[in-house]
Each structure stands twice: as C-alpha cells, then as structure tokens.
Amino acid sequence: MPIYLDNAATTPVCPEAARAAYEAMTEGYGNPSSGYAIGQAAAAKVKEYRAAVADKLGCLPEELTFTSCGTEGDNWSIRAAVEHGKRTGKHIITTAIEHSAVLEPIRALAAQGYEVTYLKPDKSGHVSVDDLKAALRPDTVLVSMMLVNNELGTLQPVKEAAQAIKDAHCPALLHCDAVQAFLKVPFTPKALGVDLLTISGHKIRAPKGIGAQYIRKGLDVKPLLLGGGQENGLRSGTEPTAQLAALAAACTAWDPDAPARMSEVKAHALEVLSAVPGLEIISAGDAPHICAVALPGYPSEMLVRDLSDRGIYVSSGSACHKGKPSHVFAALGLPKRTLMGVLRISFSPDSVKEEADALADALTEITKNRIAMR
C-alpha cells in the first residue's frame, strides 16, 4: 500500500464526506435559490451545513461565508481589509513565511503603492510579537499572520498580535490563515481576537474546492462576488451543495482524539528519522501533524522522486511552490547545502508509526546508494 505522508498538501476524502457529497448530488440536487420544494429543501440543508462547520470552528453561523478554497479566502481577506482601511493608510504587516495565497496579493498591493513590513522568523520558525509591536503604525490597515505554518508546523502568536494591535490603538484589521490549524490545534476566532480567518476543506478530509471564511460579526466588508445575492450578499453564485455537504460531514466526522494520535506518530517519526545518516531536524513543529527535515547534499526533488518510486509520498515544501525553492525554509537562513535537501512530512489521523519506520528505512537506503552533492 502507498505510504502517504503529505497531508499538509491535501488529504484523502473521508468516507463520510464522500457519502454526503454523493447524496447531495443525487438526492438533494435542487437549487437552494429556487422557490419550489426541492430547492427549499436544499436551502434548509445549506443552513444545516453552515451550522455544522461554524460549530466546529467556534463561531456564529452568520459569521461564516463559504468559499472555494483557502486561496480565495486569503485573497478576499486582504482585499477587504485594505478597502476597509483605505481612508486610514497604506501600510500592511505580514510575515515572511506566509502562504503564497497571502504573499502574492500583498505583493500586488505593494506594486500599487502600499508599504509592506515582512516580519522575519527566528531560526526555529517563529515570528516575534515584539517585532510586530515595533512595526505597528497609525496608518497600518492590515496585519496578516497564519496560525500554523504549512511547511514548518510552527505556531505563530496570533492571539498576542491581536492584543498588541488593541494596546497600540491601531486601526488595523487582523487576518489569520488558519488552513493548517483548523481541527488540528484548539482555537476559536473570538479567542484569537481576529477579524478575518480562513479555512479550507481539503486539509481536513473534505474534497478540494470548498472552504470557509470567518468574518467577525459587525465588520462591514465588500462582497467578493456580485450577482444573485447568495451567502448574505457577500459571495454570489449558486451554492455548491455537494461540496458543502462534504465539508460539514468531514467536520462532524473529525475525531477529537486525532491530534493526539498524529502527535504521537510525529514524535516517533522524528525519533527514527534522527537515526538516518546525516539527516537534520529542521522543525519538529508545534502543531501535531507537520515537521520538516533535511538531508544536506541530497536535492529535495531527487529525494521526493526516489521515495515516490518506493511508494512513499512526501514533499519538498508547499505544493503551491510547484518545484520552486521554498521561501519559508529560505527565511530560516539555512545553509545552501541544507536548504537544497529539505523535506516536509505531514500526517493524518490515519497515519501509523510503521509508515514512519518505512520512511526512515528508505532514506537510509538512499543515503547508502547515492553520493551526496558537495
């Protein structure tokens, strides 16, 4: 059987989500905006789906808007925040290790005249809240900080950032990319103190193509899409009921004990991987499901291919890099030889220790059969 250890990229769809999607497509196929019975039945289901996801996120159903993915939510949040603060200023703060879905729209805004401060992580992959405090200004309109880094598994000080913004009497809105955090680490948007927060379904065993956006109650944001007025007028378009059903089912089916199991498997993986000749632990990760290692001198893409030939699947970083060097690992200031050999390993609730053993054995065999590049 294949050994899949790239769950931070995407997860297999769980049976409950697949069944829910199938039933929605074959039985609950009415358009929720239609006035007749099967349409209204679908509308009632959408209400149930929203409540189920909101319950797991710990927010009000009316604070949740469905999106197509994390990238959409991140882009929307950034655009909404700068529009909200357009009369206040043109300064943005983010981190150097955000997902590309945050960094790219911010780079586009920088090209339009916005000033951006990038908070750099320390060598362990953590951003300092003191650096954020020093960067806050009266004209700061947005702070965007992820909760769990998607390549390092490190937790970032989002709650402390919210308090810092409040203490500084800064008008900035706080956005959090919580795509890797949702259901993996305990939080609620209210407890974090965020204004906007993004989650994605395919990281929690729902299908690709569905996500959700938390928008703090009382916050006035511009609609993402105009049209028929769906999603309380914020994101028009016929509701993708099958994807919504699957997302709600995945949330409901998620085992509260899953993070503890993933953490146990990850700890075992780090132990056995430490015995691989020459291997370095880059980040043990604070979250239960992500860690990063490196084999200095062995190119990451070569390692990924060699492991794939053995039926073991890991990555050299975010799937969104598409083979390009990871800006996240580069931000740690790693030596070039180490940087070229980085691997991200990420676990699911179904991961077992024997899979970590197989990975360690395969990497050991690779180091014996290949000569490291100088």
Q: So which residues are the catalytic ones?
A: 320
Pick the closest to residue 317 from 309, 368, 157, 334 (CA basis).
Answer: 334
* DSSP string of 257-324, one letter each residue: THHHHHHHHHHHHHHHHTTSTT-EEEE--SSTTEEEEE-TTS-HHHHHHHHHHTTEE-BSS-GGGTTS
Return d(Cα 326, Cα 5) in angstroms, integer.
Answer: 18
Rg of the Cα atoms in the chain = 21
- Structure token pair of residue 180: 């890797």
> Distance of CA 220 to CAs 34, 85, 162, 229, 259, Å?
28, 11, 19, 16, 35
Exposed/middle/buried for 297, CB within 10 Å: 0-12, 13-18, 19+? middle
- The whole-angstrom distance between residue 295's C-alpha and the CA centroid of its chain comes to 25
Q: Which residues, in sequence order, are CB contacts of 274 under 8 Å at separation 6+?
A: 281
285 near 344, Cβ under 8 Å? no
The CA-based dihedral angle spanning residues 127, 131, 135, 141, taken in that order and rounded to the nearest 10 degrees: 30
